[in-house]
Amino acid sequence: MENLKYLDKNHKHPIETTIATKEDRAYWQKHVMPFEKSETAKKWNWKSNLGEIGKAYSLGKVLGQNPELVVLKKNNIPIGMLLQVKNYSEKITTGKIRDTAMIWYVQKAPKEYLIKHGINEKEFDIKIAKAIIDVSLTSSLKESGNVLLHADPKGGNRLLEFYRQEGFTQMPKEKGRISSGRANDGRYFYMNKHKVLSIVKHNRELIGQSIEIPCKNNSISNKELYEKVKAFKESRPEATKDIHKSKGLEL
């Protein structure tokens, strides 16, 4: 995973992303979770839960699913966590089995914790929760560019609305199973590579920075790909048929 930076308005103390260590997980559980008020979030244990799913995590690596645990920090203080699989085999989006990035779990540090550490979210041009999602969207462009996630039922309609506002499309039960081993309860969300690329570009404009985003294949130049993104934003999705086939694009 490449390290991303989300700059504050003064460009002095950015939010930075890195692969989370065992120490990061332990810190989050000991110092961040006591501030958590959500009953749903309280039931998740970043330290022991990852131990419980350790076999599945290891198997995911063997199967090439590329599981990844990411921590977002400001001034070396953890403020967000993301657990994702970068190559999950699903069939709901096209009816055929293919690899798609799957967001397993995300958590933003509670407001009281941020205040204790002198962190004011208003300092940033991009909200912390949006930055966490952006990490997954950005990394997905190195693979399929498509992203899937599940909204925990305990999060209610509020969580559904959050993902809708972030640009995800809800997958109704009628679409069938997510994969052979995963049923669809109607709370799955999906974003295709064209929408992902458009939102990532918008986020870069929002925070006033550029970033090199290498894509999986290599067939067209950065300039050509940039023009395709521009065409997409002008409501011409047909121009982005091969948008994922570039080695990279500065957004």
Nearest 5°: the CA angle 151, 152, 155 is 95
Tens digit of each residue's pLDDT, the chain (251 residues): 556 777 656 656 678 899 998 899 889 999 999 999 887 778 777 776 665 445 555 555 555 567 888 999 998 999 999 988 888 878 777 777 778 889 988 899 999 999 999 988 877 767 889 889 999 999 888 888 899 999 988 888 989 999 999 999 999 988 888 887 788 999 999 999 999 999 998 887 766 665 555 455 433 344 444 455 555 556 444 433 333 332 232 22
User: What is the DSSP code (8-state) at residue 177?
Assistant: -
Contact 209, 177 (CB under 8 A): no
Three-state DSSP state, 173 = helix
47-51 — which CB contacts under 8 Å span 24+ positions? 50/25, 50/83
| Cα-based distances in Å from 238 to 29, 228, 241 | 46, 9, 6
| Cα-based distances in Å from 204 to 55, 187, 249 | 36, 28, 12
Output the pTM of the full model.
0.74
Residue of 46, 61, 146 whose CA lies nearest to 105: 46
Which domains are seen in the chain, by residue range? 5-195 (3.40.630.30), 212-251 (no CATH)
User: What is the DSSP code (8-state) at residue 162?
Assistant: H
